[in-house]
Amino acid sequence: MTFPFKPKQRLLFIGDSITDTGRVRPVGRRTQGGLGTGYVNMIDSLLGAAFPETPIEVLNTGISGNRVTDLEARWSSDVLDLKPDWLSIMIGINDVWRQFDQPLDPNPVDPKRYESIYKTLLEQTRSNLKGLVLMTPFFIESNRSDSMRKMMDTYGAITRRLASEFEATFIDVQAAFDGYLEAQPSQSLCGDRVHPNGVGHMIIARAFLSGLDIAAIK
């Protein structure tokens, strides 16, 4: 296993509420619990504990409720201006969810629009990065015929395709949850099948570390 980060490199996480988890504004950092209570904080803690000889700076600019259109609106300030060496993106949950809980939304983000905007953001950014990580959106539901689960899988497939096109590390977060759901019900992680508890966030953190081939837990 080769540790992918160099000392003092900057790893930025951006996304929606799953990334946000109460992080400090305007930019979440490790100090004073600034990274929030979710997977970003867990990843930072695991890397800091396991690799003290290779300190990196982890930043969090996730915002609850965001869709890819919101990322587009704040991309300059919350990504480009921060000049990350590594960038991790997880977006799409609200792009799908709003089509179910707000069916009259006059401005939905359908799969074609999602992919077009996402691709444009990556085109603006990829050449400036040492590393890029794309994480799938997810729905904590084992029934793959469920309407929202089926649509989420469509957005996950788009994420996989973009990861291949832009030479990114692909993290199948949905698959990580599916593995857990083979043994436990979704209610053990959350009530709405979207916002996981601490166990759920650790599933995401482990998927991230595994995807980068980092054995942080020995």
Candidates 17, 20, 95, 201; catalytic one: 17
Give the number of other CB atoms < 10 A from CB of residue 17. 18
Amino acid code (one letter) for 95: D
Paired strand residues for 133: 88, 169
User: Is 195 annotated as catalytic?
Assistant: yes
Give the number of other CB atoms < 10 A from CB of residue 33. 13
User: Is 142 annotated as catalytic?
Assistant: no
User: Is 17 annotated as catalytic?
Assistant: yes
Helices 68-78, 111-125: inter-axial angle, 10-degree rounding = 10
Paired strand residues for 58: 11
- Of 211, 218, 214, 203, give the one whose Cα is nearest residue 39: 203
Candidates 116, 147, 192, 213; catalytic one: 192
Give the number of other CB atoms < 10 A from CB of residue 79. 22
Candidates 70, 110, 142, 195; catalytic one: 195
Give the whole-angstrom CA distance, residue 169 versus residue 134: 6
- DSSP character string of 3-55: --PPTT-EEEEEESHHHHTTPPSSSB-SGGGTT-SSHHHHHHHHHHHH-TTS-
Mind telling me the catalytic residues?
17, 192, 195
